[in-house]
Structure 1
Amino acid sequence: MTSKNINAPILGQRHFQTLLLFFSIVVNYIAKFNAGVAVVAMTSTDSNKHDVPTYDWNEMERSYILSSFFWGYIMTQFLGGWLCRRIGAKITMFISTLGSAFLVLLVPFFVPWGGWQAYCGIRVLMGAFQGLLFPCVHAHLAIWCPSKERNRLGALANTGIDCGTLLAMFISGLVAASSVGWPGIFYISCGVGILWSIFWLVFGADSPSQSRFITQEELNYIETSISANNKKKIKATGQIPVPWKALLTSIPLWALFMARCTQSWGYSTLQAEIPAYMNGVLLMDMKRNALFSALPFLCSWIMAIVYLIVSDILLTRGVLTITSIRKIINSLSSWLPATFLVGLSFLDSSQKTLAIVLMSVSVGINAGNTIGSALNTIDLSPNHAGILMGIVNTGANIVPILTPLLVGIIVKNEHDRVEWQVVFIISAVIFFVGNLFFIIFGKMVNQPWNDPDFLDNQQKEKLQADGKSIKTIQVL
């Protein structure tokens, strides 16, 4: 019996699991990226009006705060993939989100006596907890999504990146400008994280067969859409050995690695530095800064949905293959923002409207990188998607450590447009080069080492080759 013989439920637990993954990314990104607005509020004299402490941190110290999250983040990517295989996504993601939520709550209490160093320490630990998340997200999608729905459901879950970043900017700015002041940013971040953790503990399931709420019809549909080999993997997660040598020497994997690292460079430069750029170069006050800082990420969320709809139509109607869709969309989401970044770098405070338009368009178009490259881990290997995400995300998140530090080195005066110009042009060049490598070497099909029997087959081939060699020697 094949999946063609089974009527797929229009809505079911696979969609609810995707929705839970979406919100997991949202709440974690709120905690992760609220620092962009928070550090501006914590160092602004306007914050004194709300009877909250302010700090005299220079640009380099603020850069350390913004990058410190990723110091911990890169350390646990592999651990996230390993834990997901051993104890499942449900418990791993619960620990990840709840730990991050409690840590973000510590900021208003520890920073007054520990300064920016305490803030850095908390963000390092937050990064370590959140580093467990994305390997689990991709592994969970590989298990729950029927093959023909992976692009659609995977992209839908990952729109949480854009929504979370938008809410981090928008809500953080409004709260910082309110009577609560900047401490309210961290209270809200903690609250939404705890709320999601409760829902996940109740409704999350490591596989369709373990869900208490799935119908038999949907269970049959999901399981029969997966090959017999992958069924064995679902029932015995973590039992398939990782073909490390084949994996680490795979050119398509390194093409994906390159694409994700360069995307991360451009995106993290914009995301982390937009509040400071608007405050320093465009000379916006705190409230307007917050609202307009969020605008590019509203565009990003909208465009992420547009990309999802368009790619799904093109794929289901057979207009383009998944390979064409990924490479075209990734090119649009890399090369167009690179062009706009160069244009943005030549604007000043007398051209606020044009600067906001270019920034919004640049970030919005960049939202295509989820469909363009982020989901490529599942294309290459559904069986090892969590491990691949651990590898790719480790490299991609070393980059956000470097970008704020580079900004701190280049931008000595946050009001100097020329210094920001250098930052944006560097990002544009990196955007261009990374996508070119992905176009040439990227692949969107299961690799041979995805086969659960890959290592066994290699061993058999080696033994056969050795046997032939022995026979040849004996004949001679």
Structure 2
Amino acid sequence: MTAETNTGPMLGQRHVQTFLLFLSIVVNYIAKFNAGVAVVAMTNAESTNPNFPEYNWNEMERSYILSSFFWGYIMTQFLGGWLCRRYGARLTMFVSTIGSAVLVLLVPFCVPWGGWQAYCVIRVGMGLFQGLMFPCVHAHLANWCPASERNRLGALANTGLDFGTLLAMFVSGQVAASSMGWPGIFYISCAVGVLWCIGWIIFGADSPRQSKFISKAELHYIESSINASSKQEEKIETRQIPVPWKAILTSAPFWSLFLVRCTQSWGYSTLQAEIPAYMNGVLLMEMKSNALFSALPYLASWVMAFVYLIVSDILLTGGTLTITGIRKTFNSLASWLPAISLIGLSFLDSSQKTLAIVLMTVSVGINAGSTIGSALNTIDLSPNHAGILMGIVNTGANIVPILTPLLVGIIVKNEQDRVEWQVVFIISAVIFFVGNLFYILFGQMVNQPWNAADFLDQQKAPICQEEGQAAKANAKAIEALQNEKQEKDNNT
């Protein structure tokens, strides 16, 4: 009679933590990406609510606003990983979200006297706070996800990217066109952030052992699964494990992940930030319909995230594909098909609105596979250093959204010129293709040797052994010289 395998409760605290991570991404993405709709509403009051101030910002100034968030965002990625290891995800994510929520509330009060420059300063501050979040998300998932559920729970948490963007696009457009006007976008963004912080303080926990609500069965299930996957007899606190910087920075699988996340960010951020402007300028769509159709691709992306999740579970449990096969296959679909769609999109104009919307929807929807395809690869490579890896990867990936709006500002001098947008989309398509090619060739989906808690000790052992052997050899050489000298003295 075989012992029954402990699979933990079907619904437990690991799912609560996953849901809280999902919501954290949603509320932060609402604050982060409402600017794509807000700047259109703030510069074209006739398309929304004419009872609120309108600002005469040119395309380059609008591009500065859209990219300014990332000026701050890239500065705190490493800090986020360090703070998470030092103080835990619970405190760090709380500070990240409450700081961003307070700052987004300042926009309606500061822009009237400070103009687009004040808006940029606020978004830089928001970026500084939100930069702490994703390293914590990945470290938190590594602490809470049993090995067999890592792909599922990680993907579920990351569906917040699509749902948050969906709400930022759709709700922001509807609010801007309502009696609240464009200031209402920022009031709502602040409110949902504060509500999440309250729930996080109550239910969030840095690890299963620190949770006040977890059952003993679930605690044992999570810890035994994580320990077994790490081949450790005892669980060592992640924050106590030294970071093997040299091994990480000379790892080909890590750099393939870094590159593919950067190229993925380029294509995605181009669409994410510029869809409202493209629809308003090239497709000649008003804000109400613009908000609906700007959000439609992200609705498709959110739905497709669950499709990818279900398919990957079926393929994994059935043994049809390994995690390596799933990651590379899904990431290829998520990169190369949108690349083709972007090229097609670049040749359409206002007489082909329906086809343009279909291609945008397909491009963003299929791109949802990149979450399972590559976003979770930090945990594959090293659960012990997932937060640090995410800090490095996210720094590079979020330098890109600084560049894409600025590139659009340089290329697109007339937002109604389809040919200028053509250049933007074709560049993104090529970058999509190249990044995924490197990931296929060099990416890996297994724990790297440097994930081991005693990796640095193992590296030092041979050196110490060599030093000991050298010392012995030197001692023998000295002894031989002394003996030789003694013999000469005796002979004389």
**TM-score in terms of structure 2 length:** 0.94
The residue correspondences of 1:173-192 to structure 2 (distance < 5 A) are: 173-192=173-192
Which runs of 5 or more structure 2 residues have no equivalent in the other structure?
478-492
Q: In the TM superposition, what whole-angstrom CA distance separates every residue of 1:398-441 from its partner, at most 9, and x where no partner exists?
A: 00000000000000000000000000000000000000000000
Asked if 1:379 corresponds to 2:350, the answer is no
Q: In the TM superposition, what whole-angstrom CA distance separates every residue of 1:52-72 from its partner, at most 9, and x where no partner exists?
A: 111000000000000000000
Asked if 1:214 corresponds to 2:217, the answer is no
Structure 2 match to 1:34:
34
Instruction: Give the Cα–Cα distance (whole angstroms) in 1 for the partners of residues 343 and 226 of structure 2.
Output: 45
Q: Are the equivalent residues in 1 in contact too, given 2:36–2:276 (CA < 8 A)? A: yes
Structure 2 match to 1:335:
336
Q: In the TM superposition, what whole-angstrom CA distance separates every residue of 1:149-168 from its partner, at most 9, and x where no partner exists?
A: 00000000000000000000
Structure 2 match to 1:388:
389
Asked if 1:55 corresponds to 2:55, the answer is yes
Instruction: Give the Cα–Cα distance (whole angstroms) in 2 for the partners of residues 233 and 28 of structure 1.
Output: 36
The residue correspondences of 1:156-235 to structure 2 (distance < 5 A) are: 156-227=156-227
Asked if 1:355 corresponds to 2:356, the answer is yes
Specify the SS of the correspondent of 1:443.
coil
Q: Are the equivalent residues in 2 in contact too, given 1:384–1:450 (CA < 8 A)? A: yes
Structure 2 match to 1:433:
434
Instruction: Give the Cα–Cα distance (whole angstroms) in 1 for the partners of residues 81 and 460 of structure 2.
Output: 25
Instruction: Give the Cα–Cα distance (whole angstroms) in 2 for the partners of residues 214 and 458 of structure 1.
Output: 38
Deviation of 1:247 (Å)? 0.7
- CA 1:186 to 1:3, structure 2 compared with 1: closer, same or farther past 3 Å? farther
Q: Are the equivalent residues in 2 in contact too, given 1:23–1:160 (CA < 8 A)? A: yes
Instruction: Give the Cα–Cα distance (whole angstroms) in 2 for the partners of residues 398 and 48 of structure 1.
Output: 32
Instruction: Give the Cα–Cα distance (whole angstroms) in 1 for the partners of residues 48 and 336 of structure 2.
Output: 42
Deviation of 1:231 (Å)? 7.4
- CA 1:379 to 1:281, structure 2 compared with 1: closer, same or farther past 3 Å? same
Structure 1 match to 2:488:
none
Deviation of 1:473 (Å)? 6.2
Q: Are the equivalent residues in 2 in contact too, given 1:325–1:372 (CA < 8 A)? A: yes
Q: In the TM superposition, what whole-angstrom CA distance separates every residue of 1:75-129 from its partner, at most 9, and x where no partner exists?
A: 0000000000010000000000011000000000000000000000000000000
Structure 1 match to 2:81:
81
Q: In the TM superposition, what whole-angstrom CA distance separates every residue of 1:175-209 from its partner, at most 9, and x where no partner exists?
A: 01111110000000000000000000000000001
Q: Are the equivalent residues in 1 in contact too, given 2:282–2:350 (CA < 8 A)? A: yes
Worse-matched range after superposition: 324-333 or 308-317: 308-317
Structure 2 match to 1:304:
305
Deviation of 1:286 (Å)? 1.1
Specify the SS of the correspondent of 1:413.
coil
Instruction: Give the Cα–Cα distance (whole angstroms) in 2 for the partners of residues 287 and 407 of structure 1.
Output: 24
Structure 1 match to 2:103:
103
Specify the SS of the correspondent of 1:337.
helix
Asked if 1:69 corresponds to 2:69, the answer is yes
**TM-score in terms of structure 1 length:** 0.97
Instruction: Give the Cα–Cα distance (whole angstroms) in 2 for the partners of residues 417 and 35 of structure 1.
Output: 23
Which runs of 5 or more structure 1 residues have no equivalent in the other structure?
none
Instruction: Give the Cα–Cα distance (whole angstroms) in 1 for the partners of residues 248 and 3 of structure 2.
Output: 30
Instruction: Give the Cα–Cα distance (whole angstroms) in 2 for the partners of residues 368 and 396 of structure 1.
Output: 17
Q: Are the equivalent residues in 2 in contact too, given 1:50–1:180 (CA < 8 A)? A: no
- What's the Cα RMSD here? 1.7
Q: Are the equivalent residues in 2 in contact too, given 1:333–1:368 (CA < 8 A)? A: yes
Instruction: Give the Cα–Cα distance (whole angstroms) in 2 for the partners of residues 123 and 455 of structure 1.
Output: 40
Deviation of 1:463 (Å)? 1.1
Which one-letter code corresponds to 2:6 in the other structure? I
Which one-letter code corresponds to 2:205 in the other structure? A
Deviation of 1:317 (Å)? 1.6
Instruction: Give the Cα–Cα distance (whole angstroms) in 1 for the partners of residues 368 and 474 of structure 2.
Output: 60
Structure 1 match to 2:130:
130
Q: Are the equivalent residues in 1 in contact too, given 2:384–2:451 (CA < 8 A)? A: yes
Instruction: Give the Cα–Cα distance (whole angstroms) in 2 for the partners of residues 3 and 61 of structure 1.
Output: 66
Instruction: Give the Cα–Cα distance (whole angstroms) in 1 for the partners of residues 437 and 286 of structure 2.
Output: 39
Deviation of 1:49 (Å)? 4.3
Instruction: Give the Cα–Cα distance (whole angstroms) in 1 for the partners of residues 102 and 128 of structure 2.
Output: 13
Deviation of 1:7 (Å)? 3.8
Which one-letter code corresponds to 2:83 in the other structure? L
Structure 2 match to 1:257:
258
- CA 1:44 to 1:232, structure 2 compared with 1: closer, same or farther past 3 Å? farther
- CA 1:474 to 1:370, structure 2 compared with 1: closer, same or farther past 3 Å? same
- CA 1:330 to 1:409, structure 2 compared with 1: closer, same or farther past 3 Å? same
Deviation of 1:468 (Å)? 3.6
Deviation of 1:5 (Å)? 3.4
- CA 1:3 to 1:458, structure 2 compared with 1: closer, same or farther past 3 Å? farther
Structure 2 match to 1:276:
277
How many matched pairs? Answer: 475
Instruction: Give the Cα–Cα distance (whole angstroms) in 1 for the partners of residues 388 and 98 of structure 2.
Output: 22
Deviation of 1:465 (Å)? 2.5
Specify the SS of the correspondent of 2:95.
helix
Specify the SS of the correspondent of 1:34.
helix
- CA 1:116 to 1:240, structure 2 compared with 1: closer, same or farther past 3 Å? same
Q: Rg: which structure is higher?
A: 2
Which one-letter code corresponds to 1:72 in the other structure? G
Instruction: Give the Cα–Cα distance (whole angstroms) in 1 for the partners of residues 233 and 90 of structure 2.
Output: 19
Asked if 1:399 corresponds to 2:389, the answer is no
Structure 2 match to 1:15:
15
Q: In the TM superposition, what whole-angstrom CA distance separates every residue of 1:198-234 from its partner, at most 9, and x where no partner exists?
A: 0000000000011111111111111111227687996
Deviation of 1:51 (Å)? 1.6
